[in-house]
Amino acid sequence: MQPIRQTEAAECGLACLAMVAHHHGQQVDLASLRRRHPISMKGATLKALIEIGAAMGFGARAIRCEPDELKELKLPAILHWDMNHFVVLSKIRGAFAVILDPALGVRRLRLKEIAHSFTGVALELSPTDGFQRKREKNLLKLSSLVSLRRPVMGALAQAILLSVIIELFVLASPFYMQLVIDEAILKGDADLLTALAIGFGGVTLFQILAGALRSLTLQHVSISLGFDMAAKLFHHLVRLPLDWFHKRQVGDIQSRFQSVQPVQDFIANGAIAALLDGVMSLATLALMALYAPWLAAIVVASVAIYAVTRVASLNLSRKVAGDYLINDAKEQTRFLETLRAAQTLKLAAAEPEREGLQRNAIAATLRSSSRAAHVQIGFQAISQTLTGVTDIVVVFLGAKAILSAEMTVGVLTAFIAYKGQFSGRIVSLVENLIAWRLLDVQMERLADIALTPREAKIDEAGFDSALDGRLEAKRLMFRYAPGEPDILRGADLKIEPGEFVAIAGPSGAGKSTLLKVLVGLYPATYGEIFIDGRPLSSWSPRALRRQIGVVMQDDALLQGSLIENIALFDERPDMVRIEAAARAAAIHDEIMAMPMGYQSLVGDMGSALSGGQKQRVMIARALYRQPKLLIMDEGTSQLDVANEQAINTALRELQVTRLVVAHRPETLRAADRILVLQYGVLTPVQASAPPAQVG
């Protein structure tokens, strides 16, 4: 069995089901399973795995057992691990067990070691009559990433033509040595030697110029392809649903996006090299056969051994390459998390502990890199051994042929040169073919981005009109995944234009989730949402969101000036609107007091702004769009009472509809109406009610 590595943070159970299904002949990939059986960030319970397994055609049996009873399980079986994880027990041999871990890969553990992690719960899966042996894999095609436009095709054709010219000169070089030895040196013809030197010197100069031009052409192709591929992938990435980002680690997303680079390099360089290597190996083989067929057969046998060995180890190469990419992504994630949590770590004096975790991540990456290097070194050693042995045999047999007058010194010299070219070309061809096959590893990682469906209707045309600010929700229900408890259980809401409605409720009741459902970031499980009397689904998502101001708890400032942040990098920022938004957010005077004013720089990780100032900049960003509907999730939680009152007064004058999640009594008192979200239902409360009752 081969391990299937989880992509999302909480889909270990789904990956285990995929591994067991593969073992029984149902070749279904994790992406297909994920689309049919989505898992929330809370992960999957054993009950959920049993239900998903039944849908896949498995009969499941949950068993409670001790580590020494694992040998009695029907393997492969799923084990509950470390109280928060699932793994597959693949086989047991003697005192050792093979564990397929969706997070770590293949692990070989002693049965005594398993007791430290195994929780005592196992899941046996047996195919039922409804189980189907099939292959269901959504593979990312190279053509969907690469756009070979006419200029790029022309540049590739030019590069191939130049390469052919260069290779013809390379083929002529051994012939030069043969003429020098057999015709000039042995016959003492100095004039011929001079002529040959001048002629082949000119050939070499032309070869150098052609090589430089080819390199420039390939660089142009590489840049063009790299830009097109990265731009196309990023275009798709930013249109993915919000929960896709929530279920993944930032370092893993970054690593997957960077997988574009090796694909680009192979197309621009490896593909052309493989084509030329194939042609040139045939040409040099033909020339060797003309010189000495029996020596050519020895050379062919040598490179055939290398090629068979290299191809036979393809799965090993794929495994070490995949392990390196996964461990490198984990290291990047941990590093980025450390940077973002620098203040938290310092306040907790947790730098040594974090350093230890980072060291472990670096060590895992380096171990993976070392294993990949060991594989490469091993094949280099095999290649060098075969080349050395072949050289000795060819020289020995060639020298005997010279002694018996069956071959001249020049012919042997030329043959050895062609032999070197042939061996080098075949090795290069095999390595490029292996690199092409290993692109599967990169393409699988890119597929998680490229094949994930975009947010519904994100680029589709829909109703696009100026908002009045009326918002209504009927019987709204939402849960993060099938089998999960409902967060919203029939919530009803109606807000008239210009009204200020506050939502209170206990932490974890789903208030932030409700706001994300109302603006379409999360699709409602059931119920209807209306904006100005029209169903939310009939609106163009982008056109609607441009007319809604939203401030969420986890919003961030972006690297740039205050102008860029308030205007959200508008190509033509309107300073009048920027200042008006800042005044309404009660931040204008403080910005003007800064040395650089609105040109002051801020970023996602650090700035001279306080928490309250950042909140007011985010409110100004929401108001810059001149929205008719403003939605805020604890948007004023860090403000003093005076600033909050100033903002409320300004917003009331703007006659903007407001829906605000809040806990603070000052915010609740300012609202026209108060609703409490509890047990998934919105209940109205009188605005004059004491804060303790509202909470």
Is there a contact between 470 and 532 (Cβ–Cβ < 8 Å)?
yes
CA-based radius of gyration for the chain: 34
Distance CA 625, CA 574 (A): 10
Give the C-alpha distances (Å, rounded to integers) separating 557 from 308, 430, 465, 632.
55, 49, 29, 16
How many Cβ atoms are within 10 Å of 359's Cβ, its own excluded? Answer: 10
Two tokens, residue 491: 């919530």
Is there a contact between 7 and 245 (Cβ–Cβ < 8 Å)?
no
Q: Which residue has the tokens 């370092």?
A: 251
537 CB-near residues (< 8 Å, 6+ apart)? 457
Burial of 394 (0-12, 13-18, 19+ CB in 10 A): buried
Distance CA 225, CA 348 (A): 47
Would you state the torsion angle of the CA atoms of residues 640, 642, 647, 650, taken in this order, to the nearest 10 degrees?
180
Distance CA 473, CA 447 (A): 36
Distance CA 499, CA 581 (A): 20
By DSSP bridging, strand 471-478 and strand 526-531 are antiparallel
Is there a contact between 242 and 434 (Cβ–Cβ < 8 Å)?
no
Q: Please give, one letter per residue, the 3-state secondary structure of 350-372.
A: CHHHHHHHHHHHHHHHHHHHHHH
Distance CA 587, CA 451 (A): 43
Helix axes of 314-340 and 409-450: crossing angle, nearest 10 degrees: 50
Please indicate whether residue 16 is annotated as part of the active site: no
Burial of 302 (0-12, 13-18, 19+ CB in 10 A): buried
**SS3 call for 444:** helix
Distance CA 687, CA 504 (A): 11
Is there a contact between 458 and 241 (Cβ–Cβ < 8 Å)?
no
Is there a contact between 197 and 204 (Cβ–Cβ < 8 Å)?
no
Q: Each residue of 557-575: b (16+ CB within 10 Å) or e?
A: beeebbbbbbbeeeeebee
By DSSP bridging, strand 548-551 and strand 629-633 are parallel
Peptide bond into 76 cis (omega under 30): yes
Distance CA 438, CA 449 (A): 19
613 CB-near residues (< 8 Å, 6+ apart)? 587, 590
Which one from 4, 12, 16, 427 is the annotated catalytic residue? 12
Distance CA 407, CA 290 (A): 12
Give, in degrees to the nearest 5, the angle at Cα 478 between 475 and 480. 175
Q: Which residue has the tokens 């006419």?
A: 150
Is there a contact between 80 and 46 (Cβ–Cβ < 8 Å)?
yes
Indicate the length of the chain as a whole number.
Answer: 695
End-to-end CA distance of the chain: 54
Cα-to-chain-centroid distance, residue 118: 31
Catalytically active residues are 12
